[in-house]
Structure 1
Amino acid sequence: MENSGNLTYIFFGIIALIGLVGAIVFFNFFAIWLRALTSGAKVSYTELIALRLRGVPVGPVVNVRITAIKSGLPLSIDELSTHFLAGGNIEAVVQALIAARKANIHLEFDSACAIDLATKGTGKSVIEAVRTSVNPMVIDCPNPNVGKGTIDAVAKDGIVIKARARVTVRTSLDRFVGGATEDTIIARVGEGIVSTVGSCDTYKDVLENPDRISMTVLGKSLDSNTAFEILSIDIADVDVGENVGAKLQAEQADANKLIAQAEAEVRRAA
């Protein structure tokens, strides 16, 4: 009888302990659960407990999901927590998806996560990628903060043309991950300008029709395999530099003169 009584106490003790743990869990997550429920982003206690066990901050994840659901994005707790555990910024991803949705830009959750992880530590963000896709940005060519202030090209008559261009681009979200950056755009546009000016018979052709450079360079698909789509290339400034052809001819003449003098000295010495 005594053993039977002890077992009964143990049984009720276990039941009480389970009830206490259940009560603690219930009241611990009740506020979050209720907030999600009243916001139309229902989440189960099982999901909340799973988040806590995986070391994921429950409150922020639920709040981000509420924002997503309210904005018409059917994201699950599992999707958000997976990206968080991968080192991603779930708030930035959701904000980017909302911005893309409002701008009628197709952007999948997985693509947004990939962009978010790819831009981590680069000073950029998935939100910026979407923003420049909606609102194009201008790239100075060449970059005034690096190297020369102009692109120097030589026409067929030997005259140097010093040009500066402004390239209007928008982000191509499909090519953002793995696509070349602004530096590649600058390099390609610079190369295109040098090539186009070099095909002109005289420097006057460039000065009379600078749009020719823009149209020719724009038609070369310079944004291929880059993270951007080039919308326009505008020649901001064109100046005339030195006459390289005449300079080279003068230097060649001086060289020929020295050779002739040397040959004359040899003949006199003989």
Structure 2
Amino acid sequence: MDLAPLISIVVIFVLIIFLLSMFLSFVPIGLWITALFSGVKVSIMTLVGMRFRRVQPIKIVNPMIKATKAGLNLSIDKLEAHYLAGGDVNSVVNALIAAQRANINLEFEQAAAIDLAGRDVLEAVQVSVNPKVIETPIISAVAKDGIEVKVKARVTVRANIERLVGGAGEETIIARVGEGVVTTVGSSTTHKEVLENPDKISKTVLDKGLDSGTAFEILSIDIADVDIGRNIGAQLQTDQAEADKKIAQAKAEERRAMAIAQEQEMKATVVQMQAKLVESESEVPLAIAEAFKNGKLGIMDYYNMKNVMADTQMRESIANSEERDQEHAESDKHKK
């Protein structure tokens, strides 16, 4: 039996199945049928063209079906252009549907710009409908009396669709609220004023127009918690006193060093004078001998000088003895 015709039929059949599967994978017939029955007018050639442009047809057709069912007037070309620009087509369509249900005026070009700017356009629409609460970290401020006040605030904001592109984010809101809290507490005379009227902080901060240039509209600022911290004024005064003390000690040490140097200098001067005195006294016997030799000093003059010197020594001895007796008497008195 000749099997060649049978093998040829099997090969042709396999080839047909392979070509058919390749065709169906490249040409999304099923997606085209789904779009047709959903009321989306898109041709087979348009879907094939998406394949050549490296666009996944399902990411364009499915959002288009949702938009059509929601009554939005969008075109395939706009969705495809946004996809090629790197945008999230599904998120933009969902945001447009949510905005339409909430009666928010949001055009496709605006939503696409917000999406390409890196913001979640669907979340922005949701925040615009349902306000969001931003909780600030603990903000430390010091009143005029030097007492630290710790404040924690909650800021209720609503997304401003018109300022989402180019508007500042949550970090700017938190920074501005923190600045307003520090300014308000710092202008208070005492910390008791802040504790008695915490709403003064929220009113003052809210009046500053902190949402200017941001992507949000501030609805309210509520003070969640107010605590007392350190006594910064007393601490600063203590630090200043300690610094003054160190400066005074340094100056005293400098004066002490100068006094020691002067004392050493005076001692050196005294030693020099004593050396000169000893040297002069050593020359006295030579002068006396020279006077005897020249006849300028007689023997009686010499004895009179000796008597004067002995009398002087005796007086000095008596004076020293009286000083010692007085010191001993005072010492005994203190002991008793």
TM-score scaled by length of structure 2: 0.64
Q: How many angstroms apart in 1 are the aligned matches of 2:29 and 2:249?
A: 101
Amino acid corresponding to residue 99 of structure 2 in structure 1: A
Q: What does residue 227 of structure 2 align with?
A: 239
Alignment correspondent of 1:156: 144
Look up the equivalent residue of 2:220 and give its one-letter code: S
How far residue 49 of structure 1 moved from its aligned partner, in angstroms, is 4.0
User: Is the 1:32–1:59 contact (alpha carbons within 8 Å) kept by the matching residues of 2?
Assistant: yes
CA distance in 2: counterparts of 1:266 and 1:34, whole angstroms: 100
- Supply the distance in 2 between the matched residues of 1:41 and 1:210 (Cα, whole angstroms): 58
1:69-84 equivalences under 5 Å are 69-84=68-83
For residue 103 of structure 1, what is the aligned residue in structure 2? 102
Letter in 1 for 2:37: T
1:195 pairs, out of 177, 183, 196, with 183
Is 2:132 the counterpart of 1:137?
A: yes
The structure whose RCO (Cα within 8 Å, separation 6+) is larger is 1
Shift of 1:32: 4.0
- Counterpart residue number, 2:237: 249
Given residue 141 of structure 1, which amino acid in structure 2 is its aligned partner? T
1:220-248 per-position Cα deviation (integer Å, ceiling 9, x unaligned): 11111112111111111100111111222
Greater helix share, structure number: 2
**Contact 1:197-1:213 within 8 A present in 2 as well:** yes
Which piece of structure 1 moves more, 217-226 or 154-163?
Answer: 217-226
Report 1:1-270 matches (<5 A): 28=27, 31-119=30-118, 125-142=120-137, 150-260=138-248, 262-263=250-251, 270=259
Q: TM-score by structure 1 length?
A: 0.78
Per the TM alignment, residue 257 of structure 1 is displaced from its structure 2 partner at its CA by 4.1
> Mean Cα displacement is larger for which, 258-267 or 73-82?
258-267
How big is the shift at 1:62? 2.0
The answer to which of 194-203 and 222-231 deviates more is 222-231
Whether the 8 Å CA contact 1:169–1:231 is kept in 2: the answer is yes
Q: Is the 8 A contact 2:173 2:211 kept in 1?
A: yes
Q: Deviations over 1:123-156 (max 9, x none)?
A: x6221121111111111112xxxxxxx2110001
Higher Rg of the two aligned structures: 2
CA distance, structure 2, for counterparts of residue 30 and residue 239 of structure 1: 68
- The question of whether the paired residues in 2 share the 8 Å contact of 1:29 and 1:48 is answered with yes
Out of 192-201 and 108-117, give the one that drifted further. Answer: 108-117
CA distance in 2 between partners of 1:190 and 1:238 (Å)? 14
CA shift digits 1:60-112 (9 cap, x unpaired): 32222121011111000111111111111111110010011111111110111
Change (3 A) 1:156 1:48: same
Deviates more, 1:57-66 or 1:203-212: 57-66
Is the Cα contact below 8 Å between 2:47 and 2:57 reproduced in 1?
yes
Secondary structure of 1:223's counterpart equals: coil
Indicate how the Cα distance of structure 1 residues 46 and 198 shifts in structure 2: closer, same or farther if over 3 A, else same. same
What amino acid is aligned across from residue 243 of structure 2 in structure 1?
A: A
How many angstroms does 1:39 deviate by? 2.5
Instruction: Show CA shifts across 1:186-236 (max 9, x none).
Output: 111111100110000000000000000001011111111112111111111
Which runs of no fewer than 5 residues in structure 2 stay unpaired?
Answer: 1-22, 260-336
**Percentage identity across paired residues of the two chains:** 62
Q: 1:48 to 1:266 in 2, by over 3 A?
A: closer
